[in-house]
Structure 1
Amino acid sequence: MVKSTYPDVILIENGENLGFSKANNQAIKRAKGDYVLILNPDTVVQEDTFKTLIKFLDEHPEAAAASCKVLNADGTLQLACRRSTPTPLVVLPKILGLSALFPKSKLFAKYNLTYLDEDEVSEVDAVSGSFVMVRKSAIEEIGLFDEDFFMYGEDLDWFFRMRKAGYKIYYVPSTKIIHYKGESSRAAGYDAIGMFYKAQIQFVRKHFSKSRSVFAVMFLYFAIVARGLFSYAVKTGVALAPLIIDTFLMQLSLLLAVRIRFGSFNEVSAYFLIDGIYTVVWLFSFFLVGIYKKRRFSATYAAWGVILGFFVNTTFTFFFKQFAYSREVLIWLLLLNIIILPAWRIGIRLARKTGMVPFLGTLGKTMILKRTAIVGSAEEAKRITQKVLDRIEYGYSIEGFIDKKSPDSVLDSPTYLGNVTDIAEIVSARKITDIIFSTESYSYEEVLDIIDKVKHNKMNFKIVPKQMDFIIGKASVESIEDLSFIDIEFNIDKLYNRVIKRSLDLMISSLLLILLLPFAIISFLLFGRSIRGVDLLLQDNQVRRVYLLSKTDKIQSGILSRYPLLLHVLTGKMSIVGCELLLNPLDLKNIHYKPGLTSLAEIMSQGNRDEDEYEKYEQYYLRNQSLQLDLEIIIKALFNL
């Protein structure tokens, strides 16, 4: 891409990852200008940034390097963009947590200099290596990056040598960039924590082992190791926390279930062995539905994990009568777990949304759509909207667009939400979670200014570069070009997925036939519903007469109207999740695609899509069908009832 799009750019291609220092040194040696720019690939730069820093360095000959305000993906200041050299007096408050408790204290907050005004020019010990402009003559004097540092620490070492040679380093906040911190190292697949603290030890050994006392050096070693172990412990704890919480709450559910069943806790000891089996089965069910991978805080998947585990536990007690102490206790466990285990996840998500738990990671992609606004002109908004709707896997729900002025005419789609000057109020009122910026209409400077205004709303920001069909976000670059469906492998045709899907159909249809029977009878006797026959095209392309519990001959969305169809699911002629009812899938007859009680096209369209868009949803489902996707479609269908 670089060679074809930018033929004048010198591209250095290495056969392996040489590390940050060695790779940048290759480029620095070939650079011929007065200044050298070190820039990470996971950044977005304002249009005036280069000119601003060149002008600043021209006016400050004593400066060897300068950097600008560096923002996180959510618009907050990235603390690493201005730092002090990690001496014992700087590190100790950081280790003890005093810098976080007293961020405005000159004594305790030296590590990240949080006591400085983020909008004022400051002389600092070090800036962020993700973006720094350096005077070429200073590099020739103090040398290149130290290649003993593979990743992390090389910038701190460089700046330390610059200051030791008498140069100054400046933080210049009059311009800014976005740095999607961690994406470069994450993409490379390295142990970022281990490499970071190893680099800190290298720095201390290189610069302080001879100039500082043995006690000071040993203290720094101890502090770095302790901090590294703490970071690993936090990372491991966060990864294991959902499993530990689930296990604890399952034991609490057992106590409550026994108390409800027997009126006391005296019988709890009899359940110790079976409780261990139940707990392991439920935890394993959670692993199967992906709870402990990308969906740790998904209440939906937690509920389905509970249901799946319940069926396995019920089967276990059926075949092993010696463990069937009380099926009533198992029923109570189901009811309690299906409330408690999703509930704590909902609480965490609400707390995260309000900023109360900022340490939690992303919750993973989900087909529950993200409420999205486009910032750009009417024409660009319409173009991006169409492209985004073509790529449904990204899960955007376009609520409308925001611009500097209202459109000249009313658009069918998307809706004009208001003026960009009112963006903070608009995103709050509309509960917008994602904003997509069009740089065809807005400069990077304007984009970053807008992000600055709404950074407290805990949002995700995406950028569509000028004349390009890509959305640049925190963890990925998403192509929104039109799809081609030629020679695509269908997930739904894989044997493993077919077995899992059929098992899910059997479990859910059996359960619903039993649970909904009283309601179906009441609906038939008291609410005027009757058994009506309709002609439905089944998977074998044969038209069959099926029956609905309905007031009309049309297929309605309610579960009770489709209750008789559960018999067809049970016998294998239909599926819980399949293609649209009465849709003629002649071109898909060899890929085992049954009509379903619900479908991806039905829940996503909400009655407003045309046939082309129906086809896109159907094609997406064929390619990506999985247990997780089926469960999420079912939950989404329940919300749409």
Structure 2
Amino acid sequence: MSAPELAIVLVTYNSADWIGRCLRALPAALDGRCAQVVVVDNASADATADVVERDHPQTVLIRNAHNAGFAAAVNAGARAVASDWVLLLNPDTEARPGSLRNLVDFAERNPGHGLYGGRTLRPDGSLEPTSCAGLPSLWSTACFALGLSTAFRGSSVFDPESLGRWQRDTVREVGSVTGCLLLVDRATWDRLGGLDERYFVYGEDVDLSARARRLGLRPVITPDAEVVHGVGESSPGSEGSMLLALAGKVTYSRTHFPPVAAALAVGLLRLGVGLRAAGARLTGKGQGWRVGWRERARWWNGFPARPQHAAG
């Protein structure tokens, strides 16, 4: 049997409520494209892996004995199948008919971008804008610290990582493509070395995009690849997600900024959380920031160095 064109890698963690819908949508979304689906389960406490094994026997299932994190699990899944393309897809997505075929077709017609993404929608059909973002900068971090990105949400000047009010309805080069729907050709994937496993979850896709751009590649979005995304359904609770996202931002700053700029960026992140926590204490709103400040030891210095574990 020849190798499939596409390896679709899904990382699951307590995803039993979504994984069946996600996998059932794939044949129509591929519209004839040859793909092998790989599910890497990060030691779910629910029946996620059992659902995959029972209802989708053609899927390659890797059961991790512990939660290895998103980046490490994706890398393991990509290694499991030889293919021309690697597609990262969240388990809390339902790809629309023809969407994944459109994405691969677009990438084949437009080589040189390296990373390709699509348009994500909420379950009610409205735009869910997090399929892509601008790369973090000292300016965007200062806007966060000073509350400008909140006061002027969606502003291309004061909230630049949001990419303004663009509806993701045109082809456009972007700073980063989000890992919920990210296509990369195998040669580029291997050249980049996959995801950086220092990132447990959150930030690894931004890091990948930044490294791709340094190689002269130009991550891009096509609106013809649409998936419904149940945001956060495959992640920890909102407060846990915040802590992980902040750790990812600290790690990114220290990886991609020069030393002085990195120290300033990390200081601005800490200041932004501290000011929001103080505001939450005074107003009673945004209590998650108080948790973020109280639990700051969990993100203050970014993700810790992690030992390598074999999947199994």
Task: Tell me, yes or no, whether TM beats 0.5.
Answer: yes
2-structure distance, mates of 1:124, 1:154: 16
Paired residues of 1:83 and 1:112 also in contact (CA < 8 A)? yes
After superposition, residues 489-638 of structure 1 pair within 5 angstroms as none
After superposition, residues 299-310 of structure 1 pair within 5 angstroms as none
SS at match of 2:61: coil
Picking from 250, 253, 265, the partner of 1:204 is: 253
Distance 1:27 1:235, change over 3 A: farther
2-structure distance, mates of 1:73, 1:226: 35
TM superposition score normalised by structure 2: 0.68
2-structure distance, mates of 1:153, 1:203: 7
Paired residues of 1:109 and 1:115 also in contact (CA < 8 A)? no
2-structure distance, mates of 1:72, 1:235: 28
Whether 1:148 and 2:198 are equivalent positions in the alignment is yes
AA matched with 1:134: V
1-structure distance, mates of 2:183, 2:89: 9
SS at match of 1:168: coil
SS at match of 1:111: helix
**Which digits, 9 at most, give the CA deviation of each residue in 1:339-361, with x for residues without a partner?**
xxxxxxxxxxxxxxxxxxxxxxx
1-structure distance, mates of 2:258, 2:136: 13
TM superposition score normalised by structure 1: 0.34
Distance 1:233 1:100, change over 3 A: closer
2-structure distance, mates of 1:31, 1:60: 24
**Which ranges of structure 2 fall in alignment gaps of 5 or more residues?**
1-50, 289-312
Distance 1:94 1:228, change over 3 A: closer
Q: Structure 1 or 2: larger helix share?
A: 1
SS at match of 1:167: coil
Paired residues of 2:123 and 2:229 also in contact (CA < 8 A)? yes
AA matched with 1:90: S
1-structure distance, mates of 2:239, 2:165: 33
Match of 2:63 in 1: 13
Whether 1:186 and 2:230 are equivalent positions in the alignment is no
Paired residues of 2:129 and 2:167 also in contact (CA < 8 A)? no
Paired residues of 1:66 and 1:171 also in contact (CA < 8 A)? yes
Match of 2:162 in 1: 112
AA matched with 1:205: R
2-structure distance, mates of 1:101, 1:231: 12
Picking from 75, 85, 95, the partner of 1:25 is: 75
Cα deviation for residue 222 of structure 1 reads: 1.7
Distance 1:63 1:102, change over 3 A: same
Whether 1:195 and 2:244 are equivalent positions in the alignment is yes
SS at match of 2:258: coil
SS at match of 1:17: coil
**Which digits, 9 at most, give the CA deviation of each residue in 1:510-549, with x for residues without a partner?**
xxxxxxxxxxxxxxxxxxxxxxxxxxxxxxxxxxxxxxxx
AA matched with 1:2: V
1-structure distance, mates of 2:123, 2:145: 26
Cα deviation for residue 203 of structure 1 reads: 0.8
Picking from 124, 148, 165, the partner of 2:215 is: 165
2-structure distance, mates of 1:150, 1:231: 25
Match of 1:174 in 2: 224
Paired residues of 1:194 and 1:228 also in contact (CA < 8 A)? no
Cα deviation for residue 178 of structure 1 reads: 1.8
AA matched with 1:58: E
Distance 1:123 1:11, change over 3 A: same
Cα deviation for residue 225 of structure 1 reads: 1.3
2-structure distance, mates of 1:26, 1:207: 25
AA matched with 1:222: G
**What is the RMSD of the two structures over their aligned residues, measured on CA atoms?**
2.6
1-structure distance, mates of 2:280, 2:130: 20
Cα deviation for residue 231 of structure 1 reads: 5.5
Cα deviation for residue 220 of structure 1 reads: 0.8
After superposition, residues 284-299 of structure 1 pair within 5 angstroms as none
Distance 1:227 1:49, change over 3 A: farther
Picking from 82, 89, 92, the partner of 2:132 is: 82
**Which digits, 9 at most, give the CA deviation of each residue in 1:355-377, with x for residues without a partner?**
xxxxxxxxxxxxxxxxxxxxxxx
| 44-53 or 99-108, which deviates more | 99-108
After superposition, residues 199-238 of structure 1 pair within 5 angstroms as 199-210=248-259, 214=260, 216-230=261-275, 237-238=284-285
Paired residues of 2:144 and 2:269 also in contact (CA < 8 A)? no
Cα deviation for residue 39 of structure 1 reads: 0.9
**Which digits, 9 at most, give the CA deviation of each residue in 1:476-524, with x for residues without a partner?**
xxxxxxxxxxxxxxxxxxxxxxxxxxxxxxxxxxxxxxxxxxxxxxxxx
Cα deviation for residue 90 of structure 1 reads: 2.8
2-structure distance, mates of 1:145, 1:40: 15
SS at match of 1:185: coil
Whether 1:121 and 2:171 are equivalent positions in the alignment is yes
Distance 1:107 1:174, change over 3 A: same
2-structure distance, mates of 1:86, 1:146: 17
Cα deviation for residue 147 of structure 1 reads: 0.8
Distance 1:42 1:230, change over 3 A: farther
Paired residues of 1:153 and 1:200 also in contact (CA < 8 A)? yes
Whether 1:71 and 2:71 are equivalent positions in the alignment is no
2-structure distance, mates of 1:161, 1:9: 31
2-structure distance, mates of 1:170, 1:64: 8
After superposition, residues 249-264 of structure 1 pair within 5 angstroms as none
1-structure distance, mates of 2:155, 2:239: 35
1-structure distance, mates of 2:273, 2:150: 18
Paired residues of 2:154 and 2:162 also in contact (CA < 8 A)? no
1-structure distance, mates of 2:135, 2:231: 21
2-structure distance, mates of 1:120, 1:156: 21
Paired residues of 1:142 and 1:165 also in contact (CA < 8 A)? no
Whether 1:139 and 2:189 are equivalent positions in the alignment is yes
After superposition, residues 419-438 of structure 1 pair within 5 angstroms as none
Q: How many residues align?
A: 236
Cα deviation for residue 161 of structure 1 reads: 0.7
Cα deviation for residue 97 of structure 1 reads: 4.0
1-structure distance, mates of 2:279, 2:129: 20
Cα deviation for residue 167 of structure 1 reads: 1.0
**Which digits, 9 at most, give the CA deviation of each residue in 1:546-596, with x for residues without a partner?**
xxxxxxxxxxxxxxxxxxxxxxxxxxxxxxxxxxxxxxxxxxxxxxxxxxx
Distance 1:145 1:234, change over 3 A: farther
User: RCO higher in 1 or 2 (8 Å CA, sep ≥ 6)?
Assistant: 2
Q: Name which one, 1 or 2, has greater alpha-carbon Rg.
A: 1
Whether 1:44 and 2:94 are equivalent positions in the alignment is yes
AA matched with 1:182: G
